[in-house]
Amino acid sequence: MKPPALFVFDLDGTLIDSRTDLANAANAALERLGLPRLSKEVIVSYIGDGIDALLRRCLTEERLNLFERARSYFGAYYREHLLDHTTLLPEVRETLEILRRQSQLAVLTNKSEPYARRILEGLGVASLFTVIVGERNGKVTKPDPEVLKALTEQLGVSSNATLMVGDGENDILVARAVGCRSCAIADSGEKRHLLESFGPDFLIHKMGELLGIFEDLHKKSLNGR
C-alpha cells in the first residue's frame, strides 16, 4: 500500500505523554481556588477535548463560576512546568524521522497551540512538522472538520491522500468527516475495544507499527537499522 502524502498526528497520548504535567497544573489551579485535589487518574480521564473542557470537568457543573480563575491559574502554572515530566512516547521520534523522508507531517491537537509548539520544540521534533495546529481562542480543532479540511488545503494534499493518526475518538470522527483515512493507537485492550467501535481504517498498539501498514515505509525502516 502506498504511504499517504500527509500524516496528521494528534499530540497528547499519541506523540507525547503529558499526563503528569497536565494533572499537576490542574491540581495547582484547584488548590489556588481552595478546592480539593483530584487523582491523576481522574484528571487523565478528562483529557482530550482541550484545556477548557479539562478544567470544566475538574470543577464540575456546581463550580463553573470559577472557570475563568481556574483557567488563569492553570495557565500560569503550566507555562512554567509543561516540560517537567512530558516526554515523547516510545518509537515516536524514530517513526517520525522515517515518515518525514517521503511524506509531509502535521500536528492537529486540541491543546493550546502555543503550548503544543513549545513542547514539540523542547522535545526536539518541531522541525519535522510542516504545520502545527492547536486550540486558538478557546476553539478546539477536533472533531470540527473545517480545521482539518483547511489544513489539507493549505498543504495542497487531497483528503484521500491524508491519514489522521490519534488515540481518541475525535481523531477518527474528524478524519471521517473530511474523507481521510484514520489510524487509531490503542495501548490497552479496553481502549482498543472502545476505538474499534468508531471504525478506524487501521488500529495499532504503538507508534512503530504505523510503518508496517505501508510497504515502502516498512522497507525504509528495515534499511535504516
Q: Are residues 49 and 130 in the same domain?
A: no
Q: Domain with 77 in it: what CATH number?
A: 1.10.150.240
1 lies in a domain?
no
Per-residue 3-state assignment (H helix, E strand, C coil) for 65-133: HHHHHHHHHHHHHHHHHCCCCCEECCCHHHHHHHHCCCCEEEEEEEEEHHHHHHHHHHCCCHHHCCEEE
144 lies in a domain?
yes
Instruction: Determine the 3-state secondary structure of 61 from DSSP.
Output: helix
Q: What is the mean pLDDT of the chain?
A: 93
Q: Are residues 92 and 72 in the same domain?
A: no
Q: Are residues 92 and 163 in the same domain?
A: yes
Catalytic residue among 10, 12, 21, 52: 10
Quote the percentage of the chain above a pLDDT of 70.
95
Q: Domain with 136 in it: what CATH number?
A: 3.40.50.1000
Interval 92-105: pLDDT, tens: 999 999 999 999 99
Interval 190-218: pLDDT, tens: 889 999 999 999 999 999 999 989 866 55
Interval 91-141: pLDDT, tens: 999 999 999 999 999 999 999 999 999 999 999 999 999 999 998 877 778
Domains in the chain, number: 2
* pTM, full prediction: 0.92
Q: Are residues 146 and 198 in the same domain?
A: yes
Interval 129-184: pLDDT, tens: 999 999 887 777 899 999 999 999 999 999 999 999 999 999 999 999 999 999 99
The pLDDT value given to residue 97: 96
Residue 59 CB coordination number (10 Å): 20
Domain that holds residue 132: 6-17+86-223
- Band the pLDDT of 220: cuts 50, 70, 90: low
Does 10 participate in catalysis according to the annotation? yes
36 lies in a domain?
yes
Q: What is the rounded CA–CA span in Å between residue 161 and residue 221? A: 21
Q: Are residues 49 and 94 in the same domain?
A: no
